[in-house]
A and B are shown apart, each in its own frame.
Chain A
Amino acid sequence: MYTQGLDAKTEQSAQPSPRLVTEQDAALQGRFQERVDAEEKIEPRDWMPEGYRRTLVRQISQHAHSEIVGMLPEGNWVTRAPTLRRKVALLAKVQDEGGHGLYLYSAAETLGVSRDELVGQLLSGKAKYSSIFNYPTPTWADIGAIGWLVDGAAIMNQVPLCRCSYGPYARAMVRICREESFHQRQGYELMLALAQGTADQKRMAQDALNRWWWPSLMMFGPSDDQSAHSAQNMAWKIKRFSNDELRQRFVDATVPQAEFLGLTIPDPELRFNAETGRYEFGAIDWTEFNEILKGNGPCNRERIEARRKAWDDGAWVREAAVAHAAKRKQRALKKAG
């Protein structure tokens, strides 16, 4: 899973706050940029510009939140998976997403923020997560479509992040990408079973593609000319390719896959350009994207409510664990003394 809209203009700016740049700062900045340019990894204890740190905290935590919120639409089908093999595969996938959330929160913690603080920002609605998870999963085919398209788009975005200049993030992404490609293949295989199945199953598969296609394209974020932080993030090597380039690669990879399934991409303007060797596609409805970012998606409220409920209902459990740990410590001290 992945977080999009990271550099939408609605986001808080990641530029460093205006401050006096001393000579020493300038030297540090210069040395930092040299290291980044030389493809050296930046590690938690290394000096880094404040803007770089803030951008990473925001990006990594949004990515972590997306993994956690992303467990909900798929978890919605765990109890209704149609075979035991599918049930096990889906459980394992959702569990992987929880694991990704954990590594990513840990990677963010190396930048001096706590997981509780970040989770607090998610629950209060201050932090963003990928808008794609604000769409519902009404049918089983949605599980296939999410694996195939949403994880497919995520991989396109995330593979370059394995070379991100920040070491802990890059290393977390290597493992995450390996698992995501497995999920993507699993999702495609699920779609294939539907596409080759009964007329009802095929209809279910086409319906899911119709609903997930455009939101998947939106996952790459606004067009390059609308993107707020691209240039700086490229210079910092947090970002390697532009939103539009990644989106185009996704379309080029996915259209033949849909053809193999015998499904139709819901875009009448889609056509192959023999000269460029790439697919041309219709205009994205950014109004819908912006409305969902503002909280008006079909499931925005439900997703956050579900996270809050899990957190609030679990408060007594977390308190009990802390109280028990304190009692144990006290008993051990008493025994030692």
Chain B
Amino acid sequence: MSTDLLKEALFATALRLGDTSLVLGHRLSEWCGHAPELEEDIALTNVALDLVGHARMLLTYAGELEGKGRDEDCLAYRRDVFDYRNHLLVEQPNRDFGHTIVRQFLHDAWAVELYERLCASKDETLAGIAAKAVKEVRYHVRHSGDWLVRLGDGTDVSHAKVADALGRLWPYTGEMFERDEAEQALVAAGIVPDPAELKAAWTARVEAVLEEATLDRPADGWMQKGGRRGEHSEHLGYLLAEMQFLPRAYPDATW
């Protein structure tokens, strides 16, 4: 594969990772001041901060790879739904704390396995970003995993709520392990990890926590896909309308 095509594939990857972090960070930030206890207000905000931080690094890198002068804010605030490349999982609304935790854990278990491997990427910038992010996502997956165990193994009410959320969100997990042809080239070049290996590691991690949480692993049926290609749910448009309001309303302003 030519260098240009590899660069284009790398741009798409950086954008997907950046958008996924940004949208999930935004969702978590919606909890700010409304969590079940003060410690969780602080913890969820902390995870949101880390995720937006990762998004900044990834989007900045995506802009550099693209070479059209778009910076992190231009990419975050000036793209519409069909240009966003995040996983559908992370744009799903918060609903209740249990739903938020299940969504977070399914994502974190993927993110930690991904960033652990990206630390050894042949692409130095991506490896550098991963080295920083991995320290934080290791904490995230512990936090969301611990909560999933507490809620799954807690009361009948909490068990029922997270079991329901798990069933609802499971069909969004398939997308995390999709790879197109361009990404296969990145795998071959040692830039991103092999999705099959990533899925095996994710599955082992998820199953261990679900068992401790006394939750049944849902069956792998039909998987919802499209986020990585810009085909999103109805939820993302509202999220972007809120997030992008100021730069859209005052296009000439700098903040």
Contact = CB atoms under 8 A, between A and B. Distances in A.
A and B from one complex:
yes
Nearest to A105: B38
B53 to A, nearest CB: 6
A18 interface: no
A140 B246 contact: yes
B103 interface: no
Contacts of A98: 38, 41-42, 45
Interface string A97-130: 0110110010000000000000000000000000
Nearest to B154: A320
B52 interface: yes
Given A80-B242, A80-B245, A91-B48, A102 B42 contact: yes
A83 B203 CA distance: 36
A100 to B, nearest CB: 10
A84 B150 contact: no
Contacts of A60: none
B36 A314 contact: yes
Interface string B26-46: 100110111111111110011
Contacts of A325: 150
A92 B35 contact: no
Interface in B76-109: 76-77, 96-98
B33 A310 contact: yes
A314 B44 CA distance: 14
B161 A316 contact: yes
7 contacts: A79-B242, A91-B48, A98-B45, A101-B38, A313-B97, A319-B155, A323-B158
Given A75-B33, A78-B29, A91-B29, A84 B56 contact: yes
Nearest to A319: B155
B253 to A, nearest CB: 5
Interface residues of B, number: 50
Question: Helix, strand, loop or mixed for chain A's interface?
Answer: helix
A318 B37 contact: yes
Contact of B157 (A92, A310, A314, A316): A316
Nearest to A73: B33
Contacts of A102: 38-39, 42
B255 A83 contact: yes
A228 B157 CA distance: 49
Interface string A213-242: 000000000000000000000000000000
Contact of A321 (B35, B150, B252): B150
B151 interface: yes
Given A79-B243, A88-B52, A317-B97, A324 B161 contact: no
A176 to B, nearest CB: 15
A91 B97 contact: no
Interface of A: 68, 71-72, 75, 78-88, 91-92, 94-95, 98-99, 101-102, 105, 140, 193-194, 197-198, 200-201, 306, 309-311, 313-325, 327
B42 A95 contact: yes
Contacts of B32: 71, 75, 78, 91, 94-95
B250 A321 contact: no
B207 interface: no
Given A102-B42, A201-B253, A324 B49 contact: no
Contacts of A82: 77, 246-247, 253, 255
B73 interface: yes
Interface string B154-192: 110110010000000000000000000000000000000
A279 to B, nearest CB: 31
Contacts of B30: 78-79
A310 B35 contact: yes
B254 interface: yes
B153 interface: yes
Given A310-B36, A313-B36, A317-B98, A198 B253 contact: yes
B10 interface: no
Contacts of A313: 34, 36, 96-97
A321 B73 CA distance: 39
A99 B243 CA distance: 26
B116 interface: no
